[in-house]
């Protein structure tokens, strides 16, 4: 996964997919974002304090005294209990709602070939809920020390012709359990193997300007 997502829907469009009768209003003044890279603060969903919340958290995590800045977390490493993900699986489970993500496909061989960006979304255009792990702390700065990484897995089937890894998107009924702090850790990790299959997605090429994360126009997602 190269690391760009789109959040063009309103906060309630995401929330109501999980909790149709929550009877709470969530607002966000940032408006739609068509090109969100790591190092920024996208909308996230969590239950760290018990109640369900929307909060903008830092995309990317640098563990204490580590030189590594990590925007994604490999599923095989998580399931193996490898450093540093084991310390987050019990207490740091969050969701990142999105409408799609982008991947780049090389157009030629060589060390630095030109690349074509692709817009990947659910075939029914429903919102996606990406599993993620965060080092959130109450009252802490929303910085990379307390950021998050998206869980990624191998791309099987047809999607491998665009990219060999993809974010783990959980169906709504499983996404609710992923963020439940009372849900046992072992069972939560097992959910990650039941993300949406490749057949749930479709994709098309988009304009190359998407390669610049400052490009935020709505036509970023239009097919070319």
Of 16, 53, 100, 103, the active-site residue reads 103
- Are 162 and 48 in contact by the 8 Å Cβ rule? The answer is no
Burial class (CB in 10 A: 0-12, 13-18, 19+), 220: buried
Give me the catalytic one of 2, 16, 193, 198: 2
Q: Positive or negative, the Cα torsion across 133, 136, 142, 145?
A: negative
HEC string for 135-197:
CCCCCCCCCHHHCEEEEEEECCHHHHHCCCEEECECCHHHHHHHCCCCCCHHHHHHHHHHCCC
Known catalytic residue: 100?
no
Sort 64 into a burial class: Cβ within 10 Å, 0-12 / 13-18 / 19+. exposed
Q: What are phi and psi of 45, to 5 degrees?
A: -125, 135
In sequence order, the 6+-apart residues with CB closer than 8 A to the CB of 2 are: 102, 103, 104, 163
- Phi, psi at residue 179, to the nearest 5°? -95, 0
Q: Would you name the residues annotated as active-site residues?
A: 2, 103
């Amino acid at each position: 996964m190269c690391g760009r997502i789109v959040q063009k829907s309103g906060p309630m469009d995401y929330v109501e997919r999980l909790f149709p009768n929550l009877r709470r209003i969530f607002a966000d003044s940032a408006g739609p974002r068509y090109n969100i890279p790591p190092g920024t603060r996208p909308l996230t969903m969590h239950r760290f304090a018990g109640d369900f919340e929307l909060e903008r958290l830092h995309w990317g995590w640098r563990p204490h005294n580590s030189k590594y800045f990590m925007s994604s977390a490999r599923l095989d490493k998580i399931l193996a209990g490898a450093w540093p993900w084991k310390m987050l699986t019990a207490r740091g489970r969050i969701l990142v709602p999105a409408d799609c993500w982008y991947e780049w496909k090389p157009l030629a061989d060589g060390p630095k070939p030109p690349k074509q960006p692709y817009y990947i979304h659910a075939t029914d255009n429903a919102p996606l809920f990406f599993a993620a792990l965060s080092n959130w702390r109450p009252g802490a700065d929303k910085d990379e020390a307390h950021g998050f990484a998206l869980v990624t897995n191998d791309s099987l089937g047809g999607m491998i012709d665009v990219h060999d890894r993809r974010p783990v998107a959980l169906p709504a009924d499983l996404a609710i359990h992923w963020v439940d702090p009372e849900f046992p850790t072992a069972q939560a990790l097992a959910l990650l193997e039941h993300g949406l299959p490749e057949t749930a997605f479709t994709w098309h090429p988009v304009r190359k300007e998407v390669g610049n994360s400052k490009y935020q126009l709505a036509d970023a997602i239009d097919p070319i």
